[in-house]
Amino acid sequence: MNRKLLVVMASIIMSPLFAKIVAQQKSLQKWTADNGNGTYRNPILWGDWPDPDIIRVDDDFYFISTSMHYVPGCPILHSKDLVNWDIAGYAVDHYTEDERYNMQGGNMYLRGSWAATIRHHNGLFYVGFCTPNWGKEKSNFSICTAKNIKGPWTRTIFPEYLYDPGLFFDDDGKVYVVHGQGTLYLTELNADALSTKSKPVKVWDKRFNLDATSGGGYGIEGSHMYKINGKYYITCAGGGTEGWQVCLRSDSLHGPYEHKIIAKDDCGYPGNGLHQGGLVQLKDGSWWFIIMQDRGAIGRVPHLEPVEWKDGWPMIGKNGNGKGVTTYQKTIEGNKNKIIPATTDEFHKSQLGLQWQWNHNPDNALWSLTERKGYMRLHASLATDLTNARNTLTQRVQGPYSEATVELDVTGLKDGDVAGFGIFQSPYAYIAVRKLGAENSLIMVNNGTVIDSITHFSPKKIWLKATATDKGFEGKFFYSIDGKKFSPFGNTLKMALGYDWTANRFALLNFSTTQNGLHGYADFNWFRFQGINE
């Protein structure tokens, strides 16, 4: 290479502009827990993966999570090393038990799947979850089974209600569910685990002080059960968001049980303790715990914690000190490539990517990945606002910062259609093109109120961007008419949890406020995600 060229290259590399570009590319990456040097950091996923339970099947790990009213339900992750995870599938395709899951006659926000449990027994995967309802409605419990983790799954709905279930296969062939809140019960199931065999038996009803200064007692929930070295263990969450992890232990299945707090730490996130999760043993004999921590509007994020056995108790943290680790040595090297759950989608496939979930059951006649190749086409359905619109397509926002951009073609809109992109929860906000009569307007809506608008908006193609951060839980919104220069629009969304326990989500939307039946469609060319990896 000649000297003149080397000088030019060196001047480019040393320039402030080049340094800025490199810094941006370095910072705008997806969060990964794998440090690439044999260590990992927490959280292992910087997004909403609440109520985790985990199993190992030979060399594979499976982690299940709560998803409530989002469909498909009960997301299942897969890993080879407990640090790098991808999405394996879902245990529930859609909900059939109530028309309100179809937004008919109401809605089912916060219903669906709660506190799922996962086990593998005699070649079959089992997933259990509860669906709490309130008032006069009947709550229920479900078991889903499949030979393959990717499905198909068969769901059985029980007449009984087993809250926060933990499925347990004893070594004598009997099957149980531990369940309850505050008071814990064991209910025996029949051998196929698809119906109850006995009435619930109470195994715990004590309330205890966290420490001498707590000034009160706390109930426990989120239970999972194990038999280890001849003893029965039930791990439970206590204290809600403040949170800590409790373990019960007994020589007998039905007790009496003694208890011990095995983790109490907020990991530098004041007031939000580690609580609720599952215990797993590796082939090398070591034990680990996947446990969640509330991170406000971003969601409940999972941590991977080492376990040290002390006096017969599975104590969480380095040397079993009950404190969460920030960075720690990986036990399994696993795949050399870093793996994270999918986010970005170019919509080139004929099937929807596993990163996506609908708000309630979708109307499958009103969306397509094949009507226009390379696009997600959303046909509008009648709704008064976003909260009762069908076919709102979502995926998780992530911390500590994430942004997502879509390219949207609005050529197919008809009178009354509102098509756009934003952040969904309660409150919600979005930017959309609204067609009234023959005219399009660009609008920014914050929780049902139009904050800003541009009338006589003529572009047929538009680029929309939303950002989310865990610092102040703010969502911001931008638009572009050339895909290059983005302008802020509207105001800031103060992200919150009006629908308790479900995090904020990026959302693709199209609905119609006109009852003339001539609803149009919106074409999303792609969805592209970025986050800060720091």
Instruction: Find, among 87, 79, 81, the residue nearest to 39 by Cα.
Output: 81
Cross-strand bridge partners of residue 366: none
CA–CA distances in Å: residue 366 to residues 150, 252, 262, 369, 376: 25, 54, 49, 11, 11
Amino acid at 37: N
Please, where are the H alpha helices in 343-390? none
For 6-52, give the DSSP string.
Answer: HHHHHHHHTSHHHHHHHHHHHHBS---SB-SSSEEES-SSSS---S-
For 455-520, give the DSSP string.
Answer: SS---SEEEEEEEEESSS-EEEEEEESSSS--EE-S--EE---SSTT---EEEEEEEE--TTS---
- The verdict on whether 188 is a catalytic residue reads no
Record the tokens describing residue 167, joined without a space.
Answer: 């499925």
Kindly give, in sequence order, each residue whose CB lies less than 8 Å from that of residue 298, ignoring residues fewer than 6 positions away. Answer: 46, 47, 48, 397, 398, 399, 468, 470, 473, 503, 504
* Catalytic pick among 51, 53, 403, 523: 51
- What distance in Å separates the CA atoms of residue 208 and residue 247, rounded to the nearest whole number? 13
| Rg from Cα positions in the chain | 25
- The verdict on whether 51 is a catalytic residue reads yes
Instruction: Tell me the pairing of strands 376-379 and 39-41.
Output: unpaired
- What distance in Å separates the CA atoms of residue 88 and residue 515, rounded to the nearest whole number? 40
* Backbone dihedral angles phi then psi of residue 11, each to the nearest 5 degrees: -65, -35
- What distance in Å separates the CA atoms of residue 97 and residue 26, rounded to the nearest whole number? 47
- What distance in Å separates the CA atoms of residue 70 and residue 95, rounded to the nearest whole number? 10
* Catalytic pick among 164, 221, 294, 417: 221
The answer to whether 334 and 516 are in contact (CB under 8 A) is no
**Catalytic residue set:** 51, 221
